[in-house]
Amino acid sequence: MSTRLNWLRAAVLGANDGVTSTAGLVVGVAGATGSRATILAAGVAGMLAGSLSMAAGEYVSVSSQRDSERAALETERQELAEDPQAELDELAQLLEVRGLSPELARDAAVQLTERDALRAHARVELGIEPDELANPWHAAVASFASFTVGALLPLLAIVLPPPSLRLPVTVVAVLLALALCGWVSARLGAAPAGRAVLRNAAGGALAMAVTYAVGSLLDTG
């Protein structure tokens, strides 16, 4: 369940990044030019660059995490083979620290060791679920997809309406999307939704205001 929530939270954050970064990009370009083709080209390039960057970053990060977890499990496997009694004592102490009485902790450690010693130490000592090591490819694909979905909203919002409505439609659509992302993120983290929504929307509004101002300054025609 916790793994599923982490993936869902990561997907929401990826979509949030896609909305914010692409909105800032296309609004900035729109401040410099009224050409729909130019805005579209910049938006698509930014969407692909951002989604690929997110995917690559997640792949590298999760690969490093998985390598570390595998190394820790291998070390634990060697320690169990070399000195099983010391490892049993260590497991009992860890269970005792978690609130079990010394007698109950010893009995639990013995039973867990008899069932699966490596799994017991992985869970109690390392905080690792051996059968649920993070998959870097899953992380990369999820990040790519969530960023792309988020980026599509401001891109479509600015290229589909007529020129006179581009900015108002984009700003409203982006702020609503960021408010939703903030609300979902807060709910997943059991945090107050109001501040998360306001913070998210304010950040997006600031990004669009800054990039539009810069784009307007660069407008030569």
Q: Whats the size of the chain, residue-wise?
A: 221
Q: Could you tell me what percentage of the chain is helix, strand and coil, using 3-state DSSP and rounding each to the nearest 5?
A: 90, 0, 10
At position 13, the amino acid (one-letter code) is: L
- Calculate the dihedral angle through the C-alpha atoms of 173, 177, 182, 184, rounding to the nearest 10 degrees: 150
Alpha-carbon distance of 142 to 194, in angstroms, equals 27
Per-residue model confidence as pLDDT tens digits over 69-123: 899 899 999 999 989 899 888 888 989 888 888 889 888 888 988 888 888 888 8
Per-residue model confidence as pLDDT tens digits over 6-46: 667 777 888 999 999 999 999 999 999 989 999 999 999 99
Residue holding tokens 């009992």? 92
Q: Which pTM was predicted? A: 0.79
Residue 136 scores a pLDDT above 80: yes
Residue 188: predicted pLDDT = 77
In angstroms, the Cα distances linking 99 to 21, 93, 95, 96, 141 are: 47, 10, 7, 5, 41
